[in-house]
Structure 1
Amino acid sequence: MALVYDSLYIGGRWVAPASTKTIDVVSASTEEPIGRVPEAVEDDIDAAVAAARAAFDDPAGWSGWEPGARADAIERLAVALDARSDEMARRVSNQNGMPITIATGAEGAFPQLVLRYYANLIRTAVLDEVRDGMLGGKIRVRRAPDRRDRRHRPLELPDDTDGVQARARAGDGLRGRPQTEPGNSA
């Protein structure tokens, strides 16, 4: 058996799993075992979710970073994956039977392409702009991290100097025509 892992990567470090259960990784082409990994159980998943939440809530963490710092981190990840691309392609090919020529592109190069696309998108995105409002006037649109718990996110409208938000809250000027019959928009 080539690869045996006995820990899970949770919260930025390798940790012992909550159970001794394992999963054998089998070669799709030979049906021989090629590795073994811990089977994450509910406690492991809870620990991973809690670590992700803590990382998100950390003011010094990813969600608080400036866009340029995020783009730089994504680029560093792409560079690290470049260095491992041959090994990633080989492992995927061994595990699922994908021909190595396809795995080299799909698993060894495509993830970095996607990461670099998003890093560039972050670097070139307009984060603060003034647009023409739908009902006239100007609307300022800002894009910034939202650190609130999204399960309880209130409805928000963009910054507005022309009173569109007030009219919307009052129900003025934003109503459509009532339907004459259910399912009939005439």
Structure 2
Amino acid sequence: MELTFNSNDDGYMSNDNNHNKTQSNDKSKLSLPDLDACMERLKAVSGQTHNVSALRWLGLSNTTYANWKRRQVNYGALAKGLLARGISLDWFFAPNVDLRYPGPDELPRIQEVAETYTSTQRTQRVIRAIERIDPVLQEHQLPATESNRAILVETYFTARRGFVPLPTALTQVTKALKQEPDRD
């Protein structure tokens, strides 16, 4: 499904009909939530009881609801506001969909890591990860071997705000089990 977000910095849609095209003509089983569903989810996450106050909580103007009701939901402005508040777009737009997250081996690593982190920054991040990992190993009475640490450091870095995708978790547990001698 291809999503096109058409918004400018203030959250309003352009009046240019060529610029305001709806989603592509691709047939998709998934659709974006309508205005009512967006407002219910937004009120739930914001703790607000009124549509306008929920949109204001998101950083949008008082006239946004009326504009969206007259035209269509500006999903770009909505996504921008949700991300600014740290709200998961997965939860908001596809709460009951089993989404697939790309694994570390599917992402361009070498160039991305080289551009994002210097060697020193990476080393500091690994040291901080090990400082959190070693107490966990100790708590579970496991030796702090390099292989145990490596598995947990890899898991630590693939975790996303306390969430590790199921395939990654299963892979990490499998690696750990391979290294453990049979107990039979």
> TM-score when scaled to structure 2?
0.22
Of Structure 1 and Structure 2, the greater strand share is in 1
Return the index of the structure with the highest Cα Rg: 1
Of Structure 1 and Structure 2, the greater helix share is in 2
